Amino acid sequence: MDNPNRTYTVGEFAALSKSSVRTLHYYDDIGLLRAQRDASSGHRVYRSQDIFKLQQIISLKFLGYRLEEIEELMARSTVGTSLTEGLRRQQEAIEAKQRQLEQVHTAIGRTVQLIEQQGELDRDVLFSLIHTMQSEEEQRQWLQERTSPELVDRLFNQSAEEKAEADREFIEFTREVRRLKGNPVDHPEVQALVAGLMDKTMARVGEENMASVSTLSETDLDSIQFMTSSPFTAEEEAWMNEAMAYLMTQQLGEENLKP
């Protein structure tokens, strides 16, 4: 057994504690773990009891404390309820980080899956999707404040497969837009495209929720534009709006013919 009075050099001490010489120098400099000095050589000398102190430092670092806080904590002799409070705050911070990491993790998962299925992707489309995933929480919050909980539930509480399906459909849609862009808005394929979009949107929102959507104001619709970044150019958007308008007039016309 080692005798408890033996001393260590920085190198030995670093190896023991699995930290680095530089780290020990640093702790010495900032006064977190002061070493004694060999009078003649000026070398740092650590005593075996310093091991415990260093272990405490490492433990507290492990718990997420910064060195300054650690110094303060170690100066206090009692370790009780005051620490619990700090620990609980640490706990909450960790949970927040975990939630964020989880979000990023699934976002990357969805992105990778998309690229694998679809091959090379247009960068605008990809970034638009990533941006949507990233701000999903924000959008949910926003809708929660303005529409019915049922709609929010329906739109966001989807399974991973449903979300993947929505991603695919979106990609498909952008490809069709790129393919048909330039055609007149009354071109049958263009009309089919926008009709399909409206159907899908209706299906996604659900008929029973259309009422709460229609309560959204003009300014609301404007600000939704900023949140959901679109991969389309201004001309593409204008063209699509025209096609939509044409579709609406056609449908209205048919209805007027029926009775």
Partner DNA sequence: CATAACGCCTCACGTAACTGGAGGTGCAAG
Partner DNA sequence: CTTGCACCTCCAGTTACGTGAGGCGTTATG
Q: Does 248 bind a second copy (CB under 8 A)?
A: no
The rounded distance, in Å, linking the Cα atoms of 257 and 48 is 96
Among DNA, a second copy, none, residue 221 binds (CB under 5-8 Å by kind): none
Q: Pick from 7, 16, 23, 168 the residue near DNA by CB under 7 A.
A: 23
The rounded distance, in Å, linking the Cα atoms of 100 and 119 is 28
For a second copy, which is the closer residue by CB, 58 or 195? 58
**C-alpha to C-alpha distances, 119 to 109, 185, 239, nearest whole angstrom:** 15, 30, 27
Between 67 and 106, how does the x/- string for binding to DNA read (CB under 7 A)?
xx--------------------------------------
**CB 27 to DNA: min, Å:** 7
Among a second copy, DNA, none, residue 107 binds (CB under 5-8 Å by kind): a second copy
Classify 18 in phi/psi space as left (phi over 0), alpha (psi -120 to 50) or beta.
left
Of 110-118, 167-175, 179-187, 249-257, which segment contacts a second copy by CB under 8 A? 110-118
Q: Does 130 bind a second copy (CB under 8 A)?
A: yes
Phi, psi of 47 (to 5 degrees): -95, 160
What element of type H or E holds 7? Answer: strand 7-8
Chain-centroid distance of CA 195 in Å reads 33
Q: Determine contact, residues 67/24, Cβ cutoff 8 Å.
A: no
Q: Pick from 6, 66, 76, 99 the residue near DNA by CB under 7 A.
A: 66
Summarize as ranges the residues that interact with DNA (CB under 7 A).
9-12, 19-23, 25-26, 35, 40-44, 61, 66-68
